[in-house]
Amino acid sequence: MNVLFLCTGNSCRSILAEATFNHLAPAGWTAMSAGSAPTGQVHPRSLALLAREGIAIDGYHSKSWDQLPLTPDVVVTVCSNAAGEACPAYLGKVLRTHWGVDDPAHATGTDAQIDAAFLAAYRILRVRIEAFFALPLAELQAQPERLKAELDRIGALLP
For residue 64, give the DSSP letter.
Answer: B
Confidence of residue 80 (pLDDT cuts 50, 70, 90): confident
DSSP SS3 for 32: strand
Sign, CA torsion 153/45/120/22? positive
Average the pLDDT over 83-105 and give the result.
83
What is the number of alpha carbons within 13 Å of residue 15 lying toward its C-beta? Answer: 32
- The yes-or-no verdict on residue 99 having pLDDT over 60 is yes
Residues designated catalytic: 7, 79, 87
Average the pLDDT over 136-140 and give the result.
94
Residue 81 confidence (pLDDT): 66
Average the pLDDT over 64-75 and give the result.
91
Mean pLDDT, rounded, of the chain: 93
